[in-house]
Amino acid sequence: MIKTFYLLIPGKLTVKDANINFEDISGVNTVIPIKQITDLYLCLDINPTSNVLKLIMDEGIIIHYFNNYEYYLGSLIPKKHKNSGKTIVKEVECFDNLDKRIQIAKKIIKAALKNISKVVKYYQRRKGIVNNLNLNYYSNKINEAKTINHLMLIEAEYRKNYYNHYPEILNLESFIRVAPNATDIVNVLLNLMNSLLYSVIYSEIKKTNLSGFISYLHEPDHDRVPLIYDISEIFKPLYVDRVVFRMINRKQVNDNDLINNRLSNDAIKIVFKEWNTQLNTTIHHPKLKRSISYRMLIRQELYELEKHIANDKDYNPLISWW
């Protein structure tokens, strides 16, 4: 079974019998079968030797680095992951053509809006919360938008509306979304799990012909892969928010799990376990007519976008049917 491996405590990596050996700070050794992993998540306190890095790169495994388990810093991508020059040319053409770019951007934020609406409706049924998310109102505003900046403002507006539902969903007195320097459990969890989502999307981009450096909703930047943030808009409500709501409502984590505004080691293990379970959960895909994991839904989304860009196939972003 090919899977993702998370190393959450300080230690060192070495090669042992053509596999990876992890020795933690207590001296406990764990052998990681090299043929059974596709992604390796490391905190900065883990120091792989050069022969470990060579083995990992040769096997095509992507390494994701996190800072104190909270912020995604970047990834090491094996050389064998190559992009298609023809696809890159098509990506640039779609970006430079405002009509084509805004068409893709509208579809992305409309899909994100509909997925947010699904989440709110779920808690409306389950907890009886008041649903103030006016789907038709925001959909019409998206349809009427003429610029990318206007679309971004609409996206910010409906997300603010969405965050106003958090207190009822999570039994809080109030909620304000804080990205950096969060001090409450909800924002800390959202920041961490958004980072996990970004890293998975990056891994899946590298399994397609897309470069990742051309985006349609967010502006390209010199020091990031902006397509990650476009695609994440679609999946955040379904992957991040649902898991955060579930963990807090089940009292798996709370503010007592924060130490100096960072998650305790026990809470970190819970988060990564829940995240891994979410990615590996399978669901029947009506179009593919087979079961597919949540992780593969991300790759399928990228394939759909790639077909639209390269072959002008109609692009219909994922909207939750479950």
Q: Which residues contact 75 (CB under 8 A, 6 or more apart)?
A: 62, 63, 64, 65, 199, 202, 203
Residue 82, pLDDT above cutoff 70: no
pLDDT in tens, 162-183: 999 999 999 999 999 998 889 9
Residue 13, beta-bridge partner list? 22, 48
Whether this model's pTM surpasses 0.75: yes
> For residue 136, what are the CA distances in angstroms to 152, 169, 236, 318?
17, 22, 21, 18
State the pLDDT at residue 118.
97
Greater confidence, 37 or 252? Answer: 252
What span, in angstroms and rounded, lies between the C-alpha atoms of 233 and 198? Answer: 10
The mean of the pLDDT values for the chain is 91
What pLDDT, in 10s, does the model give residues 11-68? 889 898 888 999 888 889 988 888 888 888 887 677 777 888 888 888 888 888 887 6
Residue 80 has pLDDT above 70, yes or no: no
Mean pLDDT over 244-264 rounds to 94
Domains detected in the chain: 3-76 (3.100.10.20), 85-311 (1.20.120.920)
pLDDT of amino acid 11? 86
- DSSP reduced 3-state for 84: coil
In angstroms, rounded to a whole number, what is the distance separating the alpha carbons of residues 4 and 6? 7
Q: What is the DSSP letter of 207?
A: T
